[in-house]
């Protein structure tokens, strides 16, 4: 096989080449790293036209059908994770492009979720910034989460992990999702609630469902309106699951106490976005899965997949 070109996309941290053994492929593959997001689909098509292999990081770069049609040399597309809503799998299959994924050893998103909850309720980050800026002593009186009710939307693997962490902090936990049953809640040691009950009763609502056409807009304007004025919303799942315009208005009008967001409908979040101007909103740039440990696993498994593909073997984790 002639030498192939591999593009590693959206390596914001410049870690990809350090955390995996890409030298294993050096006799067959030339690797190019793209550290910054493409400005448009046209820019992506232009930059990637000569690559046979692409390694994508989650949904940072979308691959709709028209982009695939602009990449005539593409043979293998790898994504971190075992699902990626931003990839048009049907078009990829039709064009004979092989799609592969990677797995996690563990998911660090639940601890980040608790970090956002603690920032919202105790102001650790903002008070740290004030101390470093030489400003006067305390200005933020926090609230205690022990005894509060955490409402979890989605009680899968991640939601269940979040429930365990919350209970360790002394929180009461209730959960809801479209297919959740009281029996499953009982098995996880949490209370079952209807959607209406969860948004009305919870002191903090946290989102842990997968983005799909079914879950897009799942947290609606009406749901936000049911929340207590003292309640917080945390989203570390995917931005489009929440009606962002409705959330923006609720925060601007202080109809809820605040929110913590790690994910957004458009990423990176535009510099001029009104979310950036709110003092009752904690923002992080999609840090949920972004640890050196996790990225090392993703990139190592991508090397493994490319090695198998270029040697004519089966992909360890094929998606299409």
Please give the DSSP secondary-structure letter assigned to residue 32: E
pTM over cut 0.85: yes
Place of tokens 């929440």: 242
Of all residues in the chain, the percent with pLDDT exceeding 90 is 92
pLDDT for the residue 1: 57
- Between CA 98 and CA 112 the distance in angstroms is 33
Computed over its alpha carbons, how large is the radius of gyration of the chain?
21
Question: Within 13 Å and on the Cβ side, how many CA atoms surround 61?
Answer: 31
Looking at residue 208, its pLDDT comes to 98
Q: Which residues are catalytic?
A: 238, 267, 286
241-279 pLDDT, tens per residue? 999 999 999 999 999 999 999 999 999 999 999 999 999
- The whole-number average pLDDT for the span 220-226 is 98
The answer to whether 118 touches 260, Cβ cutoff 8 Å, is: no
Q: Give the pLDDT confidence score for residue 106 in this predicted structure.
A: 79
d(CA 220, CA 197): 14
Identify the band that residue 71 occupies on the pLDDT scale cut at 50, 70 and 90: very high
Confidence of residue 104 (pLDDT cuts 50, 70, 90): confident
């Amino acid at each position: 096989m002639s030498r192939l070109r591999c593009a590693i996309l959206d390596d914001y941290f410049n870690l990809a080449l350090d955390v995996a053994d890409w030298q294993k492929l050096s006799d067959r593959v030339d690797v190019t790293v793209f550290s910054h997001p493409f400005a448009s689909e046209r820019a992506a098509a232009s930059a990637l036209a000569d690559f046979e292999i692409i390694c994508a990081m989650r949904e940072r770069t979308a691959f709709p059908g028209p982009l695939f049609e602009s990449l005539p040399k593409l043979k293998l597309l790898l994504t971190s994770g075992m699902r990626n809503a931003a990839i048009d799998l049907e078009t990829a299959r039709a064009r004979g492009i092989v799609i592969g994924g990677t797995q996690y050893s563990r998911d660090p998103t639940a601890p980040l979720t608790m970090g956002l909850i603690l920032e919202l309720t105790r102001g650790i980050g903002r008070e740290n910034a004030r101390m470093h800026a030489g400003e006067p002593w305390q200005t933020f009186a926090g609230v205690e989460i022990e005894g509060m009710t955490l409402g979890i939307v989605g009680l899968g693997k991640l939601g269940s992990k979040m429930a365990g962490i919350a209970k360790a902090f002394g929180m009461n936990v209730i959960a809801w999702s479209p297919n959740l049953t009281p029996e499953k809640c009982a098995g996880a040691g949490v209370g079952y609630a209807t959607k209406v009950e969860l948004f009305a009763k919870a002191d903090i609502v946290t989102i842990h469902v997968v983005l799909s056409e079914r879950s897009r807009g799942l947290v609606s304007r009406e749901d936000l309106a049911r929340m207590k004025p003292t309640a917080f919303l945390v989203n570390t799942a995917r931005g489009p699951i929440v009606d962002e315009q409705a959330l923006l208005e609720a925060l601007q009008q202080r109809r809820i106490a605040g929110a913590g967001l790690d994910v957004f409908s458009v990423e990176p979040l535009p510099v001029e976005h009104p979310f950036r101007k709110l003092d009752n909103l904690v923002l992080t740039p999609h840090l949920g899965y972004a640890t050196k440990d996790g990225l090392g696993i993703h990139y190592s498994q991508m090397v493994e997949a490319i090695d198998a593909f270029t040697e004519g073997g089966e992909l360890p984790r094929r998606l299409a």
